[in-house]
């Protein structure tokens, strides 16, 4: 005999009710993230981040950010100034001139100089390398050449001139090299002589013969030692065999 099924008289009071209504299954992670954040605050609804930006607020924020980046002032601050074609080095129409430093004081600058020198040396053309760490007069020379350009931007190294015409720094050289334009500029220059210079060993500098590299000369008339005027502060002169004289 089957027992008749009766309705239970036990009632559950204060049963939690959940309104689980979402547009799609992909929104479940949003509900779970809200529960996790509430639990992390000890279940305290006052400390929970309830004032979250709505979707409309986020859209307005993105729109305002896009408009600010398209503003002319923002573009002028972040757009790289192109090299001035009027800046030239007289007497360097058949060579590449690069101003760089061999010091490792600033790693970023040293790596940029090393990368540009490697790119230019691969073309097997004449490269006049002017190391500012070997002769401080190169800095004065470069500032004098880039006087109009230096007013617009901060003077950084390296700086490259091809055929006497100013090209730019590391970013400009890399961009021209990747696009193939750099090869067109370099092809117009005569090829460099193979091998290393026997006079300086590729260092571009030799000891001054007047002071034997001491940068001091003794004068009987002057009553003692004086600074040598034929060399730089390091007692060096540019190699006459493989380097052109400073401007």
Cα angle 34, 38, 42 (rounded to 5 degrees) comes to 165
| pLDDT higher than threshold 50 for residue 75 | no
CB atoms within 10 A of CB 226: 12
Tell me which residue of 126, 130, 122 sits closest to 101, measured CA to CA: 130
CB contact at 8 A, 166 and 98: no
Residues ≥6 apart with Cβ < 8 Å to 212: 235
Domain with CATH 3.40.30.10 in the chain: 96-187
Cα angle 191, 195, 199 (rounded to 5 degrees) comes to 110
Confidence at residue 175, expressed as pLDDT on a 0 to 100 scale: 96
Question: pLDDT tens digit string along 151-182?
Answer: 556 789 999 999 999 999 999 999 999 999 99
pTM of the model: 0.62
Quickly name the fold that domain 96-187 has.
Answer: Glutaredoxin (3.40.30)
């Amino acid at each position: 005999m089957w027992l008749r099924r009766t309705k239970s008289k036990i009632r559950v009071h204060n049963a939690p009710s959940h309104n689980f209504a979402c547009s799609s299954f992909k929104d479940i992670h949003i509900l779970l993230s809200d529960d996790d954040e509430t639990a992390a605050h000890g279940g305290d609804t006052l400390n929970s981040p309830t004032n979250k930006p709505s979707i409309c607020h986020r859209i307005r924020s993105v729109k305002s950010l896009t408009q600010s980046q398209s503003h002319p002032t923002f573009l002028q601050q972040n757009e790289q100034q192109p090299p001035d074609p009027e800046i030239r080095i007289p007497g360097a129409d058949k060579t590449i001139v690069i101003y760089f430093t061999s010091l490792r004081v600033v790693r970023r600058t040293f790596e940029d100089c090393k990368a540009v020198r490697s790119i230019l040396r691969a073309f097997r053309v004449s490269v006049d390398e002017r190391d500012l760490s070997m002769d401080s007069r190169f800095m004065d020379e470069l500032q004098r050449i880039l006087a109009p350009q230096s007013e617009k931007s901060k003077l950084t190294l390296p700086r490259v001139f091809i055929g006497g015409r100013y090209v730019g720094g590391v970013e400009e050289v890399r961009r021209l090299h990747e696009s193939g334009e750099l090869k067109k500029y370099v092809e117009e220059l005569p090829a460099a002589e193979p091998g290393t210079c026997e006079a300086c060993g590729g260092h571009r500098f030799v000891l001054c013969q007047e002071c034997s590299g001491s940068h001091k000369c003794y004068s009987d008339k002057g009553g003692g030692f004086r600074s040598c005027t034929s060399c730089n502060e390091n007692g060096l002169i540019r190699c006459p065999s493989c380097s052109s004289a400073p401007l």
